[in-house]
Amino acid sequence: MKSDSFPYPLQRIGIIGGGQLGKMTAQVAKRMGFYVTVLDRSANCPSAHVADALIVGDLYDGEKLRAIAEVSDVLTYEIEHIDTATLKALFAEGKKIYPAPRVLEIIQDKLKQKQVLDQAGVPVPRYQQVDNLNNEYLQQVTFPIVQKARTGGYDGKGVAILKSMADVDKILPVPSMVEEYIPFSKEIAVMVARNRQHEVVCYPVVEMVFDERTNICDIVAVPARIDPAMSERAQQIAIKAIEALDGVGVFGVEMFLTNNDEILVNEIAPRPHNSGHYTIEASVTSQFEQLVRIICNLPLGASKLLSPAAMWNLLGEEGYQGTPVIEGLGSALSVQGLSFHLYGKDTTQPFRKMGHVTIIDDSVAAALDKVEQVKTMLKIKA
């Protein structure tokens, strides 16, 4: 058989984690003819009924990781919180895993992540390792500072902004990294896709708006309304960051655009990222398809933007818990250019990511106006 021939099913893909990112990856893989197995703790996870098989188990359970490896030609993951020891052992045994467990391990530790970037000359905020953040330490800093737990954080959790000595009770009692607080004009992000041959495709710069109550990304707009030269610099920095990690896969690179027109890398996700959801509707190749292509050693797709777009995360409404009720769906779907994604989580909680909408329109401003309209209509209650 020729090297460019694939028997059906093309390849067996294992996705570690069955949340919304796993679901969207599985859906594109099934469209393309792959066999997909998902590992997740819950039999009712979003990926449960869109893939060929589901293994129910904890992502820190080495036996379950071995079970999904067993039935898959290649593994990837949709979440950082996994037992890397087993992944590294599987990798050493020759299992194909993208991004490599070594990259995941670096990213899991925010301090190591920053050090690797810093040493490669990627601009980052000033940072310091602080194993035990205490009163004494606070007495010698210039406020505000940002404390980040080295491991285990997500969606704004594991981060404390300390503005004065009065914030002493906000201190996270864990090994951490302290960063200067960056007064930024915008938070921006770039998706970078890098394949096994180290070819790179870079998506346009997006701007992110965060929910102030929770520090969860609320709205993503693309293309970012920034100077084109700045956009290009952001893309170059993002690529440099992924090259510094020698990452193979799809990566979300979050950055600050500072008040002094500096660009500093904040954090990297070694997987499809919330800031790239818009690529499903607005790009030639979505971030999810790009990941499938990369891990199966198929050529990269085009990242060209077909239309300006805005994405809004549908978070569970405050004060509601239980089986979700989607309020205002009909009104929302009457907004032209809107695509609706409901992840299929059977329980809502305040601020839980339950779905998202993407709106494409002739300009970012027009798309953002529609997002504001839709925010008044569409709510996840219970």
Binding site for its own copies (CB under 8 A): 1-10, 24, 27, 30-33, 36, 49-53, 284-285, 289, 293, 297-299, 301-302, 304, 306-307, 323-331, 333-334, 336-346, 355, 360, 381
In the bound state with its own copies, the residue whose beta carbon lies nearer, of 22 and 153, is: 22
- Residue 199 labeled ligand binder: no
In the bound state with its own copies, the residue whose beta carbon lies nearer, of 128 and 307, is: 307
- Residue 137 labeled ligand binder: no
The least CB distance from residue 273 to its own copies, in Å, is: 18
For 84, residues 6+ apart whose C-beta sits below 8 A from its C-beta are: 101, 104, 105, 108
- Residue 93 labeled ligand binder: no
Q: Do residues 205 and 157 make contact, with C-beta atoms less than 8 angstroms apart?
A: no
The least CB distance from residue 63 to its own copies, in Å, is: 24
For 281, residues 6+ apart whose C-beta sits below 8 A from its C-beta are: 307, 309, 339, 358, 360
With helix as H, strand as E and coil as C, how does 257-274 read?
EECCCCEEEEEEECCCCH
In the bound state with its own copies, the residue whose beta carbon lies nearer, of 31 and 157, is: 31
The least CB distance from residue 247 to its own copies, in Å, is: 21
The least CB distance from residue 306 to its own copies, in Å, is: 5
- Residue 179 labeled ligand binder: yes
The least CB distance from residue 246 to its own copies, in Å, is: 23
In the bound state with its own copies, the residue whose beta carbon lies nearer, of 160 and 342, is: 342
In the bound state with its own copies, the residue whose beta carbon lies nearer, of 234 and 371, is: 371
| DSSP H or E segment with residue 19 | none
Q: Do residues 204 and 222 make contact, with C-beta atoms less than 8 angstroms apart?
A: yes
- Residue 262 labeled ligand binder: no
Structure tokens at 56: 């129910």
Q: How many Cα atoms are found within 13 Å in the side-chain-facing hemisphere of 360?
A: 13
For 203, residues 6+ apart whose C-beta sits below 8 A from its C-beta are: 190, 191, 192, 193, 276, 279, 283, 287, 303, 305
Q: Which residues are annotated as a binding site?
A: 110, 148, 179-182, 187, 266-267
Q: Which residues are annotated as a binding site for ATP?
A: 110, 148, 179-182, 187, 266-267
